[in-house]
Amino acid sequence: MNSKDRIDNLVIIQESSNGQFKMFLKRFFKHKGAIFGLIIISLFIFMAILAPLLAPYQYDAPNINSILEAPSLSHLFGTDEFGRDILSRILHGSQISLTVALIAVVFSLLIGTILGAIAGYYGGKIDFIISSITDIAYSFPTTLLAIAFIAVLGPGLESVIIAISLASWAGYSRVVRGQFIALKNREFVDAAKVLGYSDFRIMFGHILPNALAPIIVMATLELPKAIVIEASLSFLGLGTQPPLPSWGVILDSGKGLIGQAPWISFFPGLMILLVVLGFNLFGDALRDVFDPTS
């Protein structure tokens, strides 16, 4: 093949990739819930990044003159039992939720992908051992397993991230294993073996890129799950510790005042509901777009 033919092939591949990307965007934005979910996620990320600029007050600054003040123009979401502004605490709490969710999902994704790839590619006894461990981990509810890890690690933000990561990898492992079993006997894998490529290069340079679609969808759907788990652990006093304004911490502070000051629990609960809804709509849209039968 001369240089002109190679250039022509590269142009064809690039045009094909551009066409697939345009088709992906077209199908995505035709999905009914895609735009709504994307707007919610964008607002959540915007709120988390710019929380110090958007917050009207310091999140940890008490004010004895504004204790349990109902929502008003001066405090849009009201104040808590220490006179702290709920809106400011929710804005800063979004940073904690986003940070914990992203780091935990990345760590659990790495663990699950590596183990699932090894199990699916090599098979045999290795697959049996890894799959058995995965099935055991997958059989426990994620929140319950995270609580067990917190009991060992102790409460705290770092412990929450580690606990969620160790409790959430099994789902990724099963998905990646299934993709590797389906792809490892394809022609491009055989060609890579003939060329003498290492197993590592074949697994993560050739098979994994062709298995990314379901992994991306799962990671998107796991993000709101991580946010809910972090809020649940903080609500139980096992996660983020006061005075850090986690949404779960704010919910916990308002549970005893639900009759007197319902806004303390209402607004962080509403934020959790909206974020989970946004990520689920976005993940469902991705799943429909990546599904060739839809």
222 closest CA partner among 290, 154, 167, 144 = 167
156 closest CA partner among 237, 99, 56, 259 = 237
- Is there a domain that residue 31 lies in? no
Long-range contacts of 31-35 (CB under 8 A, 24+ apart): 31/284, 31/285, 31/288, 31/289, 33/281, 33/282, 33/284, 33/285, 34/281, 34/282, 34/285
Which CATH number characterizes residue 49's domain?
1.10.3720.10
Measured CA to CA, the distance from residue 266 to residue 268 in angstroms comes to: 6
Q: Which amino acid is at 214?
A: P
Measured CA to CA, the distance from residue 36 to residue 127 in angstroms comes to: 41
Q: Give first-to-last CA distance, the chain, whole Å.
A: 39
Measured CA to CA, the distance from residue 264 to residue 257 in angstroms comes to: 8
pLDDT at 162: 92
105 closest CA partner among 179, 171, 34 = 171
- Is there a domain that residue 11 lies in? no
- Alpha helices per DSSP H over 203-259: 212-235, 247-254
pLDDT at 9: 42
- Is there a domain that residue 67 lies in? no
Q: Which amino acid is at 7?
A: I
pLDDT at 88: 92
pLDDT at 122: 93
- Is there a domain that residue 138 lies in? yes
Range of the domain at 88: 37-55+79-290
- The count of domains in the chain is 1
Measured CA to CA, the distance from residue 281 to residue 287 in angstroms comes to: 10
- Is there a domain that residue 105 lies in? yes
pLDDT at 7: 41
- Is there a domain that residue 8 lies in? no
- Is there a domain that residue 132 lies in? yes
Q: At what angle do helices 142-153 and 212-235 cross, to 10 degrees?
A: 60
Q: Following CA atoms 267, 269, 271, 274 in sequence, which dihedral angle do they give, to the nearest 10 degrees?
A: -130
pLDDT at 20: 59
Measured CA to CA, the distance from residue 113 to residue 175 in angstroms comes to: 8
pLDDT at 4: 47
- pLDDT tens series, the chain, 294 aa: 444 444 444 343 344 445 555 666 677 667 677 888 889 999 999 999 999 899 898 888 888 888 888 898 988 998 988 889 999 999 999 998 889 989 999 999 999 999 999 999 998 899 999 999 999 988 888 888 889 888 888 888 888 999 999 999 999 999 999 999 999 888 888 888 888 888 899 999 889 988 888 898 899 889 999 999 999 888 888 888 877 888 988 988 888 888 888 999 999 999 999 999 999 888 888 877 776 555
Structure tokens at 190: 């055989």
Whether omega for the bond prior to residue 243 falls within 30 degrees of 0, making it cis, is yes
- Is there a domain that residue 62 lies in? no
Contacts of 210 (CB under 8 A, 6+ apart): 179, 183
